[in-house]
C-alpha cells in the first residue's frame, strides 16, 4: 500500500466517524478500489445504513478552488451517473458552496458535510479543524513545462529510466526542467529508485494520470490556436497531413480507442513551426458560425506541446513492460502516426459534460490505463 493510500484511508475513516457523530447518519463501506486516489475510477462506494442508497466517493488529501471544476468533471465521469461524493481532510465554507453548486456531496474529517440524496438532506457548516488534524494543502500545481514532462513519461514506455536529455527531447522542454520534475515526482511518491536494480519504478502511476488530466486544461489553453471550419470533410485523408507532423484527436481518436461515434468535432495537433502553413493548406478558416448543422466541419487546432516520441510507433503494439497507458494490439490501426495517444483522447473527453463522452472516456480508461 502506498503512502497516498494510507493517508486517504485515514481521511475516509475520520470523515465517516465525524459524519456519524454530528448527524447520526452512518455510511457503510461497500467496496474499495485497490488503487486509491487515481481520479480515473471511484476510490470507495458507501451505502447509507438502513437503505439501498449508495454514494460513490473520491478521496482528496487537499482541494483547491481553482482546480475544483476539473476535479469534479473527472469524478462525474468516474461515477457513471451515480451520486458522487468527495471526502477530504477539511472543506471550508467557500469550497463547500462550490461543491454544492456542482451537485457533489461531501464529507470532511472535521464534520462538515453535505448529503442531498432523497429522502436524506444534511448540511453541516462551520466546523473548525478537529484536534489532531492538519489542514492538508493541495499538492503543488504543476507548471505547463512540468505537465509536458509528465505527459512524456506517461505515454512513452521505459522513459522513466532514460537520461534527462532523452526525456527533454520527448517532452519538448529545456534539459534543466527534467531534474526538478523528477525530484518532485519522487518526493511525492509517484516513483521510487530501487537500490538493488538502480532502476526507477512507478508506485502511484494511476494517481499521476489523474492529476495530469485534472491539470490538462492549464496546458491545453496555452496550446489552443482556435476553432476553424472547412467545407472539405475529407481533409483528414489528405496525403500531405503527415508532412506537418500532425496528429488527430477528437472524434477520430474516440472512434479508434473507444470504438464509439461521437459528434464532438475534430481536433488536430500540429508542429509549432508549421501550424499556420497547415491551416492554409488544409483550407481551414476561422469559425465564426456556431450553428449545429456545421458541427461536422469544425476543427479545433492546437500546437503540439510534445517533442520527439516513441508512442506513435508503439501505440498499437503490446508493451513488453505492460505499461498501464500502453494500448493493446487488438484495436485497428488508423493511419499511424496520425492519432494522438489514448491519454490525450481521454483528457479531451473529460472536459465535456456530455454523458456519451463520459461513457467513452470510461471505456478508454478501462482498456488502456489498467
Higher pLDDT, 160 or 352: 160
Quick one: CATH architecture of 3-124? Answer: 3-Layer(aba) Sandwich (3.40)
Residue 280 has pLDDT above 80, yes or no: yes
Higher pLDDT, 210 or 131: 210
> How do residues 15-41 score in pLDDT, each as one tens digit?
999 999 999 999 999 888 755 445 567
Q: Please tell me the distance from the alpha carbon of residue 349 to that of residue 249, in angstroms, as a whole number.
A: 10
Averaged pLDDT, 341-361:
87
Q: Please tell me the distance from the alpha carbon of residue 102 to that of residue 123, in angstroms, as a whole number.
A: 15
Residue 138 has pLDDT above 70, yes or no: no
Averaged pLDDT, 152-173:
94
Q: Using pLDDT thresholds of 50, 70 and 90, give the confidence band for residue 298.
A: confident
CATH of domain 144-206: 1.10.10
* pLDDT value of residue 314: 40
Higher pLDDT, 297 or 260: 260
C-alpha cell at 42: 471511484
| Nearest residue to 88 (alpha-carbon basis) of 77, 72, 279, 252 | 72
Phi, psi (deg, nearest 5) at residue 327: -65, 150
221-368 CATH choice from 3.90.930, 2.60.40, 1.20.120, 3.30.460: 3.30.460
Averaged pLDDT, 181-190:
91
Which of 3-12, 102-111, 187-196, 345-354 shows the lowest mean pLDDT across its residues? 3-12
| Nearest residue to 125 (alpha-carbon basis) of 76, 157, 90 | 90
C-alpha cell at 310: 516513441
| pTM of the predicted model as reported, rounded to 2 decimal places | 0.78
- β-pair type (224-229, 285-286): antiparallel
Averaged pLDDT, 172-193:
92
Enumerate the domain spans of the chain: 3-124, 144-206, 221-368
Higher pLDDT, 286 or 176: 176
**Per-residue 3-state assignment (H helix, E strand, C coil) for the chain:** CCHHHHHHHHHHHHHHHHHHHHHCCCEEEEEECCCCCCCCCCCEEEEECCCCCEEEEEEECCCCHHHHHHHHHHHHHHCCCCCEEEEECCCCHHHHHHHHHHCCEEEECCCCEEEEECCEEEEECCCCCCCCCCCCCCCCCCCHHHHHHHHHHHHCCCHHHCCHHHHHHHHCCCHHHHHHHHHHHHHCCCEEEECCCCEEEECCHHHHHHHHHHHHHHHHHHHEEEEEECCCCCHHHCHHHHHHCCEECHHHHHHHHCCCCCCCCEEEEECHHHHHHHHHHCCCEECCCCCHHHHHHEEEEEECCCCCCCHHHHCCCCCCCCCCCCCCCCCCCCCCCCECCHHHHHHHHHCCCCHHHHHHHHHHHHHHCC
Higher pLDDT, 19 or 203: 19
* pLDDT value of residue 287: 60
Contacts for 260 with CB less than 8 Å, ≥ 6 apart: 254, 356, 359, 360, 363
Mean pLDDT of the chain: 82
Q: Using pLDDT thresholds of 50, 70 and 90, give the confidence band for residue 268.
A: very high
Q: Using pLDDT thresholds of 50, 70 and 90, give the confidence band for residue 292.
A: very low
Amino acid at each position: 500500500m502506498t503512502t497516498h493510500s494510507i493517508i486517504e484511508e485515514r481521511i475516509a475513516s475520520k470523515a465517516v466517524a465525524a459524519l456519524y457523530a454530528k448527524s447520526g447518519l452512518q455510511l457503510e463501506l461497500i467496496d474499495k478500489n485497490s488503487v486509491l486516489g487515481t481520479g480515473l475510477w471511484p476510490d470507495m462506494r458507501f451505502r447509507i445504513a438502513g437503505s439501498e442508497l449508495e454514494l460513490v466517493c473520491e478521496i482528496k488529501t487537499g482541494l483547491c478552488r481553482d482546480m475544483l471544476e476539473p476535479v469534479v468533471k473527472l469524478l462525474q465521469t468516474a461515477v457513471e451517473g451515480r451520486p458522487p461524493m468527495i471526502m477530504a481532510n477539511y472543506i471550508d465554507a467557500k469550497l463547500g458552496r462550490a461543491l454544492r453548486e456542482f451537485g457533489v456531496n461531501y464529507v470532511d474529517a472535521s464534520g462538515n458535510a453535505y448529503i442531498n440524496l432523497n429522502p436524506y438532506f444534511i448540511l453541516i457548516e462551520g466546523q473548525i479543524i478537529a484536534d489532531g488534524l492538519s489542514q492538508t494543502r493541495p499538492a503543488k500545481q504543476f507548471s505547463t513545462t512540468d505537465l509536458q514532462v509528465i505527459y512524456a513519461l506517461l505515454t512513452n514506455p521505459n522513459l522513466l529510466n532514460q537520461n534527462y536529455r532523452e526525456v527533454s527531447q520527448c517532452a519538448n522542454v529545456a534539459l534543466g526542467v527534467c531534474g526538478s520534475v523528477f525530484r518532485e515526482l519522487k518526493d511525492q511518491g509517484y516513483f521510487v529508485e530501487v537500490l538493488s536494480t538502480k532502476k526507477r519504478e512507478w508506485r502511484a502511476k494511476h494517481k499521476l494520470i489523474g492529476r495530469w488530466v485534472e491539470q490538462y486544461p492549464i496546458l491545453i489553453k496555452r496550446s489552443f490556436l482556435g476553432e476553424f471550419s472547412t467545407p472539405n470533410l475529407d481533409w483528414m485523408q489528405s496525403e500531405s497531413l503527415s508532412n506537418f507532423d500532425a496528429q488527430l484527436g477528437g472524434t477520430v481518436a474516440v472512434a479508434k480507442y473507444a470504438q464509439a461515434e461521437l459528434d464532438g468535432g475534430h481536433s488536430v495537433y500540429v508542429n509549432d513551426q508549421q501550424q499556420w502553413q497547415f491551416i492554409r493548406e488544409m483550407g481551414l478558416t476561422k469559425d465564426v458560425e456556431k450553428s449545429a448543422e456545421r458541427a461536422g466541419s469544425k476543427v479545433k487546432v492546437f500546437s503540439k506541446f510534445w517533442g520527439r516520441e516513441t508512442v506513435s510507433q508503439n501505440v498499437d503494439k503490446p508493451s513488453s513492460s505492460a505499461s498501464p497507458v500502453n494500448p493493446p494490439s487488438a484495436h485497428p490501426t488508423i493511419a499511424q502516426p496520425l492519432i494522438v495517444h489514448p491519454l490525450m483522447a481521454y483528457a479531451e473527453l473529460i472536459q465535456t459534460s456530455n454523458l456519451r463522452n463520459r461513457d467513452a472516456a470510461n471505456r478508454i480508461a478501462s482498456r488502456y490505463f489498467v
